[in-house]
């Protein structure tokens, strides 16, 4: 029996290794379009590979999987995050869980994962064929099973042959990206991190929390990446020109007003811009004061009135920033869209229109927020397909 795995990325390698462990006599070949395999794994997590998440505190998978959460909930019964953690440790990759629940190799190096996959594939006799683009089943004549694990396709060309076979394709758009802004004064604060920010797309209910990073092009950090993940299609429809409301304080407006009122007493004779609220950098505070009060920003605390406090509080908890597009770098590593989940059998991820063709990883219309959730989707779907093929092969021998 022979299986062709199209795609030499995270899902493709994980599937190939697990399939060989489940069905040792199966011939498994990986076909990779480029000259290098596992390229995305190498650069993920800043080169450290955030390979999963402990999911602590995740009560609803829709919070971390904007698309595909129902299927992921089902497949976690087959292979979930605890199974992935045990798999890597069993295969010689010790892991560590960070305070933010992200899981990394203890070596803090993505090559720990890459070496594991490449080494296991070699030991099990998996053939890895690079520079081999596959865009038709005719190229794989003689294989009993075909797995498509080609990852995301931002421009959609890599999905056309699957559409021609009869699969429904959800138009792909980027997810998990930073936002560009035109506010030069805010961009001048590049490098500033706000640990407990809340961001919301104006006129929508899309809201996320977490650290926010100001860059020389605009807004980034986990809070923004989560926002763009949940609102990927909405932002695409608006050509990435929308308004983001930011709560810089991590507090309610009433709490901020009370704190500012106390500061008017504690720092009466000091200039507003010389004393920032606890937890806020002086540079960001000065920007917000000048944005709120204009010429009155040079006043002392004792000289500001209730209207000034209300303006400041409103800016701290609901500052409006216009976006001008995605960040000018190709920093998005995730694409939402792909093969529609209606085109596959949910228990096995086998195609409904092409028997013995399966799908795993980001080529499916499943994607998660930042934090190791997308790699977990790759492991879960790849393991599910490996198990389905192994079971089918065993039943037909």
Question: Please, what sign has the CA dihedral across residues 312, 317, 322, 324?
Answer: positive
pLDDT (0 to 100) of residue 313: 97
Q: Beta strand 145-148 with 357-359: parallel, antiparallel or unpaired?
A: parallel
- Least confident segment among 89-98, 155-164, 199-208: 155-164
pLDDT digits (tens, 9 = 90+) for 281-334: 999 999 999 999 999 999 999 999 999 999 999 999 999 999 999 987 654 468
pLDDT digits (tens, 9 = 90+) for 264-283: 999 999 999 999 999 999 99
Q: What percent of the chain has pLDDT over 70?
A: 99
d(CA 123, CA 20): 10
Instruction: Give the residue-averaged pLDDT of 107-120.
Output: 98
pLDDT (0 to 100) of residue 331: 47
Q: Is the per-residue pLDDT at 18 higher than 50?
A: yes
Contact 283, 189 (CB under 8 A): yes
pTM (predicted TM-score): 0.92
**Which of the four pLDDT bands, split at 50, 70 and 90, describes residue 155?**
confident
pLDDT (0 to 100) of residue 333: 67
The residue among 377, 359, 380, 379 whose CA lies nearest residue 145 is 359
d(CA 70, CA 378): 15
pLDDT digits (tens, 9 = 90+) for 54-83: 999 999 999 999 999 999 999 999 999 999
Q: Is the per-residue pLDDT at 153 higher than 90?
A: no
pLDDT digits (tens, 9 = 90+) for 184-226: 999 999 999 999 999 999 999 999 999 999 999 999 999 999 9
Structure tokens at 333: 């590593």
**CB neighbour class for 106 (10 Å; exposed up to 12, middle 13-18, buried from 19):** exposed
Q: Is the per-residue pLDDT at 127 higher than 80?
A: yes
* Residue pointed to by tokens 């003689």: 142
Q: Which residues contact 39 (CB under 8 A, 6 or more apart)?
A: 9
d(CA 196, CA 251): 9
Q: Beta strand 102-105 with 2-6: parallel, antiparallel or unpaired?
A: unpaired
Residue 76: strand, helix, or coil: coil
Contact 7, 36 (CB under 8 A): no
Q: Beta strand 319-326 with 179-181: parallel, antiparallel or unpaired?
A: antiparallel
Contact 284, 189 (CB under 8 A): yes
pLDDT (0 to 100) of residue 329: 62
């Amino acid at each position: 029996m022979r299986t062709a795995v199209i795609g030499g990325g995270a899902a493709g390698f994980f599937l190939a290794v697990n399939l060989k462990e489940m069905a040792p006599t199966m011939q498994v070949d990986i076909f990779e379009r480029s000259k290098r395999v596992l390229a995305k794994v190498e650069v993920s997590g800043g080169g450290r590979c955030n390979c999963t998440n402990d999911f602590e505190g995740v009560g609803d998978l829709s919070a971390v999987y904007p698309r595909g959460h129902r299927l992921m909930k089902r497949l976690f019964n087959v292979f979930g995050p605890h199974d992935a953690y045990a798999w890597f440790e069993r295969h010689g990759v010790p892991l560590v869980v960070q305070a933010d629940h992200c899981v990394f190799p203890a070596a803090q190096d993505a090559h720990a994962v890459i070496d594991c996959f490449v080494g296991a594939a070699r030991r099990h006799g998996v053939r890895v064929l690079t520079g081999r683009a596959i865009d038709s089943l005719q190229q794989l004549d003689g294989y009993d099973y075909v797995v498509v694990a080609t990852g995301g396709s931002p421009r959609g060309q890599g999905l056309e042959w699957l559409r021609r076979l009869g699969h429904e394709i959800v138009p792909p758009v980027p997810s998990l990206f930073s936002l560009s802004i035109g506010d030069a004064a805010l961009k001048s604060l590049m490098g500033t991190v706000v640990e407990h920010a809340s961001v919301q797309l104006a006129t929508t209910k899309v809201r996320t929390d977490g650290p926010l990073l100001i860059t020389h092009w605009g807004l980034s950090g986990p809070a923004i990446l989560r926002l763009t993940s949940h609102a990927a299609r909405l932002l695409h429809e608006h050509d990435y020109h929308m308004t983001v409301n930011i709560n810089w304080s991590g507090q309610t407006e009433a709490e901020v007003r009370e704190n500012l009122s106390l500061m008017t007493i504690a720092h009466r004779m000091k200039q507003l811009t010389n004393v920032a609220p606890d937890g806020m950098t002086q540079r960001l505070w000065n920007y917000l004061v000048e944005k709120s009060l204009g010429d009155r920003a040079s006043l002392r605390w004792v000289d500001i009135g209730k209207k000034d406090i209300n303006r400041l509080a409103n800016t701290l908890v609901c500052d409006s920033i216009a976006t001008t597009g995605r960040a000018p770098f190709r920093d998005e590593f995730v694409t939402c869209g792909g093969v529609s989940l209606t085109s596959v059998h949910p228990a096995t991820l086998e195609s409904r229109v092409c028997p013995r063709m399966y799908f795993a990883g980001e080529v499916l219309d499943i994607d998660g927020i930042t934090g190791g959730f997308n790699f977990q989707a790759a492991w879960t779907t790849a393991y599910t397909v490996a198990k389905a093929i192994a079971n089918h092969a065993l039943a037909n021998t």
